Amino acid sequence: MFKYVLKRFFYFIPTLAIIALVTFALSKMAPGDPVKLALGNKDNGGEAGQTTEKIAGEKAYAAMAEKMGLHLPTFYLDLSNAAMPDTLYRYTKKPERENLSRLISKYGNWPKIEKYFANIKAVQYAMYTIVQDSSTFEPSREINSSVNSLFQLNKDDEITASINVMKKAASMSHSFQHVAEKLNVLEASYNEVKNTATTAKNYIPVIHFYGLNNQFHRWLFGDKPYFFGEVKPDQSEGFLRGDFGFSYLDKRPVWSKMKDALPWTLMLNLISIFLAYIIAIPLGVWSARKKGSVADNVVTFILFLLNSLPVFWIATLLITFLTTDEYGMNFFPTFGLGEVDDTMSAMDIFIERAVHIILPIICLTYGSWAYLSRQMRGGVQAVLRQDYIRTAKAKGLPDNKIIWKHAFRNSLIPIITIFASIFPSAIAGAFIIENIFAIPGMGKLSFEGLIARDYPMVFTVMLLSAILTLVGNLVADILYAVVDPRISFNK
């Protein structure tokens, strides 16, 4: 058994590496600009002429990108082509980087494209110096709008039209003379991009190597020294050392938010799991022994009914009928966990919490209880058809002894398989129930993160759930051998 467990742990390493790669890849493919999400979706400046705000916005964006490690290459290596530079990752703004990739695929001459992009920046910075008055406001608005759009345009007719619009707007006032000069340089650099295209480079494969200083390595292992060395601001300890990043919503560390939510989720799930198993297993055994009887048919019908009822509907019914005065059954609080203070005794706190979690636990338990009962019934019935059970009956052993000593343990295999799924659910929480009853657990936290595109929170829960799934499968394998001696992992 020890050798098997050790071997499974070694299998965990490549499996976890693949899971980490998939999770990281999904985080990179997630929609939206992560830096803007972290900054609260704020733009990089105000209206035309608010130069200080725009420059401050640019600096805030660059600082946040560096804090998140987005100024680094994405991975250890990059399979690309000769047209793509190995420094494209330095453009931390996702829309700009994506547009540069399209321009490179279209024209292939990176030095000219880089110069063209630098000239767009030059026009943008030149606009910061324009003093706003009645004669410059409207032209400034048109130029600012067009120059910002150039960062995301890659079609020739659209780029040319934007440049012409800006040149026309700049000619409306002598205040834009410096801007007009920059626009002429921009137009010349764009024409140079078109006239010196080298698209053949796009078909020459190239591999760029970046070493350990990349986003994936920083996310997984961190860039903070393990034991010795200089610690710099904004260095990450990495996922494996418990640094899951910070939440986009309130800038709190993800682990800090999970630490507040996890106890409530664990409490609800553990109570629900205990009740489900303690009811479902005896009921399943009893139902298997009474197979075909009227009582078995009634119980089977009730269990099928419970298993088919949507949990959100049951939760809504319970809240409607048992938490309001309208139907005369205001027995429980509607939502939350109650309010406690230092003046309350331990018993008062227990009662306050208990009355608030009764309805959520009912909703979490009834479905799994019904499902587990059916699984246990089927498992016992399958075992009761085995030859060794018929032999035990032929020897005259009592039914209780046959069931609980010979059949029970061997019928637990499907229950143990289901038990393996408990580990990830303990972390992920119950999305629907925690939101309906306003329980501040992992399910509510994950749901809010998903709605708000709080990707560090979402992908942390996803990766931890995957890891706990592996642990659950290992525990299930060990329990198989415990309940059924015929199962051996020695060979």
Name which residue leads in pLDDT, 101 or 292: 101
User: Nearest Cα to 430, choosing from 342, 365, 358?
Assistant: 365
Helices 455-483 and 254-289: crossing angle in degrees, nearest 10, is 40
| pLDDT given for residue 489 in this prediction | 64
> Which alpha helices (DSSP H) does 290-310 contain, by range?
294-308
Q: Is the separation of the CB atoms in 125 and 141 below 8 Å? A: no
Is 35 a domain residue? no
Q: What are phi and psi of 440, to 5 degrees?
A: -80, 60
Q: How far apart are CA 382 and CA 157, in angstroms?
A: 72
| Cα separation, 342 vs 95, whole angstroms | 52
Alpha-carbon distances, residue 244 vs 230, 240, 241, 247 (angstroms) = 21, 9, 9, 9
Q: Are 146 and 184 in contact (CB under 8 A)?
A: no
Least confident residue range of 121-130, 205-214, 340-349: 340-349
Distance CA 111, CA 130 (A): 30
Number of structural domains found in the chain:
1
Candidates 168, 44, 166; CA nearest to 96 is 44
Q: List, as one string, the DSSP characters of 74-103.
A: SSSEEEEETTS-TTGGG---HHHHHHHHHH
In a domain, 425, yes or no: yes
Q: Two tokens at 110?
A: 């990176």
* Among 44, 35, 189, 66, CA closest to 116: 189
Q: Average per-residue pLDDT in the chain? A: 88
Residue 488 is predicted with a pLDDT of 67
* Weakest-pLDDT range from 48-52, 260-264, 392-396: 48-52
How confident is the model at residue 491, as a pLDDT? Answer: 57
Q: Is residue 470 part of a domain?
A: yes
Domain assignment present for residue 312? The answer is yes
Give residues with Cβ within 8 angstroms of 34, minimum separation 6.
68, 70, 94, 248, 455
Report yes or no on 114 lying in a domain. Answer: no
How far apart, in whole angstroms, are the C-alpha atoms of residue 61 and residue 91? Answer: 12
Helix (H) or strand (E) holding 206: strand 205-209
Look at 216 and 466; give whichever has higher pLDDT: 216
| pLDDT for residue 48 | 42
Distance between CA atoms of 145 and 47, rounded to whole angstroms? 11
In the numeric block, the tokens 């592996």 are attached to 470
Judged by DSSP in three states, 234 sits in coil
7-20 residue pLDDT tens:
878 888 888 899 99
DSSP β-ladder status, 77-81 and 205-209: antiparallel
Residue 22 is predicted with a pLDDT of 92
Q: How many helices (H) and strands (E) does the chain have?
A: 20, 2
Which token pair is 382?
């399958």
Whether 28 is in a domain gets the answer no
* pLDDT band per the 50, 70, 90 thresholds, residue 46: very low
- pLDDT attached to residue 131: 85
Domain range enclosing 408: 254-483
Higher pLDDT, 294 or 56: 294
For residue 1, being part of any structural domain is answered with no
pLDDT, residue 428, reads 63
Kindly state the greatest CA–CA separation across the chain.
Answer: 110
Q: How many angstroms separate the Cα of 87 from the Cα of each of 36, 80, 208?
A: 22, 12, 10
Q: Does residue 188 lie in a domain region? A: no
Share of the chain above pLDDT 70, in %: 96
In the predicted structure, residue 215 carries a pLDDT above the cut 70 = yes
Domain containing 339 — which CATH number?
1.10.3720.10
443 CB neighbour count, 10 Å cutoff: 25
Q: What is the mean pLDDT of residues 426-434?
A: 75
pLDDT digits (tens, 9 = 90+) for 134-179: 888 899 999 999 999 999 999 999 999 999 999 999 999 888 999 9
Q: What is the pLDDT of residue 45?
A: 46
